[in-house]
Structure 1
């Protein structure tokens, strides 16, 4: 082989190696985050990108089931996601999550014990808590002054015909109807789920829309009332002072812990761990609670918040209210009962 040819092959090899290395370096400078809408402030995103040089590519979903469908497709490209408690269990059973490398997440030590070792991930092998919320009813008092104390006041109220929204979420919305009838949101009795479904079919005739991002529709007066998450209701209330009221119905509602996970086969694993560790820093959580108005999961956050937030009963419900709230649980094969009922509600 001639020296010229040999040199050319060596040069090609070096160039190929450099090209591969540069592309890997470029890939390491980004992380793909799939998260609920309004769940990461622009300030936090900018701070992480400035501190690490890693760009966050954000996509949103409106329900846990939508996230699951994206991941099941196998080509989502998602590195980090924020599923609710029961969906962590579903995804881990389906082998869709990577075990976390806890040595790369030192801020894990800052998490309050009450949010760790939950039944959906007893060893926190796949997940760490990000935020907690409740689900209830928000009302724009400029548009509706009537009483709202129960789910019936939303789901079966002639005065709200064409003026209210429900979450586009199978378990939350069927759960509200189950609660209205005095049942558990986790009921797997076909007759109870059918009763909840029939009520929603009736409700749908008066419904304006299904919507999981409710801040704008409340502030823009597209609806007078909406089933919503506490964080969205509180953000809407902050934008329209004195106008938006958040109510946890007397029958109770749901309580959810949303969690940070890494999707199986994530291409940016190191960046994903850096993002999770950053989001679990005290500074990031204080920013998160102030901007997203979701419940904190770190030990020392509440004491560091402004007094008006520390004393906000929607952000920190009292013990009596909390006792009426349920966490949605994975029902295994019985999930089909909810899915079939929901399909009928959405298509009829």
Structure 2
């Protein structure tokens, strides 16, 4: 199966099964697709790209986080075959890179993990002269706290965590984190993320704390609350929360706005809310890990993803808020004015980006391990 066939098959599968599971229908043998490791056919086309490197690139990405034809279009324009592997959490991505780069050229960590990877020397500085499409990025996403001046990363999306829910299954709009973290009302019908930091920080947000002013005492308080709530939680999902909601396995899920926006196009009984206490914002980013075998191809690929038309096609598929101003300008009004994708200003004012805290991170992970084992 070649890359073009792979994309055609993906489009067909998308019509019949959920987005999170559509790639699983292909199996790990499909060219350009694998789970948890490099694609089976990582040898590329066997030729040489215009960069002078082997005409291949290994991309480690979240599931359902690329346009339907993006990889094929890049292969056609550049002659570079992209082998895309999938990870489910930032924790998984970090552990994989910390163990030694297995051959990845471009990765997509979230903002706090960009900061963490910079400190751990896991990602390399970018040559911005090779990324002229950086000019398409909204200036507010350039000088960010976790990577000032974008020395190590380029913005891919931004996103907000909230509650995806089935309208017919809830007694009222679930506009408080209480329904997920501190209530038996929807026992057995709740799915939470499986990322330690996100769950602990949002639990703290519910209890009235900033996600960036957490102490060991607050972590202990959140842990106790979550252990009490554990019998009411059906599962901690591995980046497939919207599939669980779409299939009816759960009625409420802690998820990202873009993921829920995707399935809202398939089921009008599904909605999304940012709770009144506020939430956590994330930004996913394009980075080149230390030891990337094809760094010049990686710069070319990142530059391609920041092209206005390419960014538009990606955004049409994944339905996440885009920091690419040129791409956003090409999108229709029903995207630009969608309150799920772009939450109202009053709610955004209560949301925060989380900073990486080296002292607290192991405490998050230890508490979360105990919560899951309870």
Do both share a fold (TM > 0.5)? yes
Say if 2:307 and 2:327, in contact at 8 Å, map to a contact too.
Answer: no
Partner of 1:25: 48
Partner Cα separation in structure 2 for residue 97 and residue 142 of structure 1: 45
Partner Cα separation in structure 2 for residue 243 and residue 288 of structure 1: 25
Partner of 1:248: 274
- Equivalent residue in structure 1 for 2:185, among 159, 162, 168: 159
What is the count of residue pairs matched by the alignment?
326
> How far is the alpha carbon of 1:141 from its aligned partner?
2.1
> How far is the alpha carbon of 1:24 from its aligned partner?
7.3
Partner of 1:15: none
TM-score when normalising by structure 1: 0.89
Partner Cα separation in structure 1 for residue 247 and residue 241 of structure 2: 10
Matched, 1:55 2:81: yes
Partner of 2:265: 238
Partner Cα separation in structure 2 for residue 217 and residue 48 of structure 1: 32
Partner of 2:7: none
- Equivalent residue in structure 2 for 1:191, among 195, 201, 217: 217
CA distances 1:289-314 after superposition (whole Å, capped 9, x unpaired)? 22111111122333322111121111
> How far is the alpha carbon of 1:75 from its aligned partner?
4.1
Partner Cα separation in structure 1 for residue 326 and residue 298 of structure 2: 25
> How far is the alpha carbon of 1:201 from its aligned partner?
1.0
Partner Cα separation in structure 2 for residue 311 and residue 169 of structure 1: 30
> How far is the alpha carbon of 1:23 from its aligned partner?
6.0
Where 1:255 maps in the other structure, the secondary structure is strand
- Equivalent residue in structure 2 for 1:150, among 164, 176, 193: 176
Matched, 1:227 2:250: no
> How far is the alpha carbon of 1:146 from its aligned partner?
3.3
Partner of 1:291: 317
Partner Cα separation in structure 2 for residue 78 and residue 129 of structure 1: 18
User: Which range is displaced more, 104-113 or 151-160?
Assistant: 151-160
Matched, 1:107 2:133: yes
Say if 1:235 and 1:293, in contact at 8 Å, map to a contact too.
Answer: yes
Q: After TM superposition, what 4+ stretches of structure 1 lie above 4 angstroms from structure 2?
A: none
Partner of 1:92: 118
> How far is the alpha carbon of 1:326 from its aligned partner?
0.9
> How far is the alpha carbon of 1:78 from its aligned partner?
1.3
Partner Cα separation in structure 2 for residue 271 and residue 180 of structure 1: 44
Say if 2:101 and 2:289, in contact at 8 Å, map to a contact too.
Answer: no
Where 1:321 maps in the other structure, the secondary structure is helix
User: Which range is displaced more, 122-131 or 36-45?
Assistant: 36-45
Q: Which segments of 5 or more consecutive residues in structure 1 lack a partner in the other structure?
A: 1-21
Partner of 1:218: 245
Partner of 1:69: 95
Partner Cα separation in structure 2 for residue 284 and residue 157 of structure 1: 44
Partner Cα separation in structure 1 for residue 82 and residue 46 of structure 2: 17
Say if 1:171 and 1:328, in contact at 8 Å, map to a contact too.
Answer: no
Partner Cα separation in structure 1 for residue 188 and residue 143 of structure 2: 43
Say if 1:148 and 1:154, in contact at 8 Å, map to a contact too.
Answer: no
Partner of 1:267: 293
Partner Cα separation in structure 1 for residue 48 and residue 78 of structure 2: 13
Partner of 1:172: 198
> How far is the alpha carbon of 1:145 from its aligned partner?
4.3
Say if 2:204 and 2:214, in contact at 8 Å, map to a contact too.
Answer: no
User: Which range is displaced more, 135-144 or 24-33?
Assistant: 24-33
Where 2:76 maps in the other structure, the secondary structure is helix
Q: Which segments of 5 or more consecutive residues in structure 2 lack a partner in the other structure?
A: 1-44
Say if 2:197 and 2:361, in contact at 8 Å, map to a contact too.
Answer: no
Partner Cα separation in structure 2 for residue 99 and residue 24 of structure 1: 27
Partner Cα separation in structure 2 for residue 196 and residue 176 of structure 1: 9
